[in-house]
Amino acid sequence: MDLDNYLLKNSKEEEISSIVKSLADAAIKISNIIRSIKPQESISNNDRKLNSDGDIQKPLDIISDEILIDFLKKSPAAGYASEEQEGYIDFKNNNNFIVFADPLDGSSNIDVNVSIGTIFSIMSKNNLSLEKAFIQNGTHQKSSGFFVYGPQTTLFVTVGAGTALFGLDETQGKFILIRDNIVIPEKTNEFAINAAYRRFWDGATLKYVTECQSGESGPRKKNFGMRWVGSLVADASRIFIRGGVFLYPSDAREKYKYGRLRLTYEANPIAFLVEQANGEATDGHKKILKLEVKELHQRSPLIFGSKEEVLEYKKSYSSL
């Protein structure tokens, strides 16, 4: 089954299917561009600016954002917001759906040939002004997903009927279903965190990670492994396929005291996919999808993956 037929079978709204297909066509174009550049080439271009995160915008971030806008303008989307845009873009039509995107997440990995990706979320305007529609919480998502530009180009997507995995068939230029109704294993012995920031962690994170590292002789009575790619879509892809828990908590660094990842175009789309795959996604206290959105580029702690481990992490706060 290809993506078009999957959407026909599982999506209740033709407009949402059409927007997902536009995003898939944009992703194929982005994938082709990424695969056509030589490693190191992108750092030679000194045409760099800073994005809303203060990160250096590599040309591919900007190019990917522009490609998404070009395709979405011709789709049933009414507006668009992304990490590369200060505010939302109004497509000046009477359509009912809005799109959030991180056009090229993990872009610091472009030059070293590590998997990067495009994350998206689709919401209904719910008859609100665009101003208000773009600050609805994550429960209003109708679809979300992410493309991974790695050894394969893949797509994890949900339209509210479970989470499915597709792979790009380069010859046909189509996304073909690999696995439908993905279920993230409830138990895991693999955690993902950037351990270099240990000195900045709060007590609960320190407790949880230390207990994992203590192995079978410690309170968890089992051994754990650790993975950290440093690219959200790559770490998330592994967790959907074999389980695990991803942790990017808030920490003592001023810039990341509310977490590093962005709620509207990183945490919410991932959380929707995770819940559709029987996983859990939290900020440490509340479900990600229930978090109040105050502004487009709002940061949030993000802990997601195998339900048992995410709940174990949450317990670390109550047992402090």
Integer Cα distance of 189 and 246 in angstroms: 12
Select 243 or 249, whichever has its Cβ closest to ligand P6P.
249
Residue nearer to ligand P6P on the CB measure, 15 or 105:
105
Catalytic residue among 3, 72, 104, 261: 104
Give least dist CB 1 to ligand P6P, A: 30
Burial of 222 (0-12, 13-18, 19+ CB in 10 A): exposed
Q: Which residue is nearest to ligand P6P (CB)?
A: 232
Binding site for ligand P6P (CB under 6 A): 105-106, 108, 194, 230-232, 260
Element (H, E) at 8: helix 3-10
Q: Single out the residue of 143, 127, 99 nearest to residue 11, CA to CA.
A: 143
Q: Give the active site residue among 13, 15, 65, 83.
A: 83
Please indicate whether residue 155 is annotated as part of the active site. no
Selected catalytic residue, list 15, 61, 190, 235: 61
Shortest distance, position 28 Cβ to ligand P6P, whole Å:
21
Minimum distance, C-beta of residue 246 to ligand P6P, in the bound complex (Å) = 8
Q: How far is the CB of 232 from ligand P6P (least distance, A)?
A: 3
Quote the CA–CA distance of 311 and 299 in Å, as a whole number: 21
53 a catalytic residue: no
User: Does residue 105 have an active-site annotation?
Assistant: yes
Q: What residues does 163 pair with on adjacent strands?
A: 158
Element (H, E) at 100: strand 97-105
Which is catalytic among the residues 102, 190, 280, 283? 102
Our CB check for ligand P6P shows the closer of 22 and 205 to be 205
* Candidate list 15, 105, 275, 309, residue with the active-site label: 105
Please indicate whether residue 170 is annotated as part of the active site. no
CA–CA dist 134, 103 (Å, integer): 17
55 carries an active-site annotation: yes
In whole angstroms, the minimum distance from the beta carbon of 281 to ligand P6P comes to 14
Of 65, 235, 266, 280, which one is the catalytic site residue? 266
258 DSSP assignment: T
Give the start-end residues of each E strand in 170-250: 174-179, 190-192, 225-226, 245-248
Would you call 102 a catalytic residue per the annotation? Answer: yes
Concerning whether 47 is annotated as a catalytic residue, the answer is: no
**For residue 136, which phi and psi values (nearest 5 degrees)?**
-75, 155
CB closer to ligand P6P, 9 vs 253: 253
Q: What angle do CA 81, 113, 32 make, to 5 degrees?
A: 60
Give start and end residues of each alpha helix (H) in 111-202.
130-133
Q: How far is the CB of 197 from ligand P6P (least distance, A)?
A: 7
Integer Cα distance of 133 and 79 in angstroms: 10
Judge whether 68 counts as a catalytic residue: no
Q: Tell me whether residue 232 or residue 239 sits nearer to ligand P6P (CB atom).
A: 232
| 222 versus 257: smaller Cβ distance to ligand P6P | 257
Q: Which residues are catalytic?
A: 55, 61, 83-84, 102, 104-105, 266
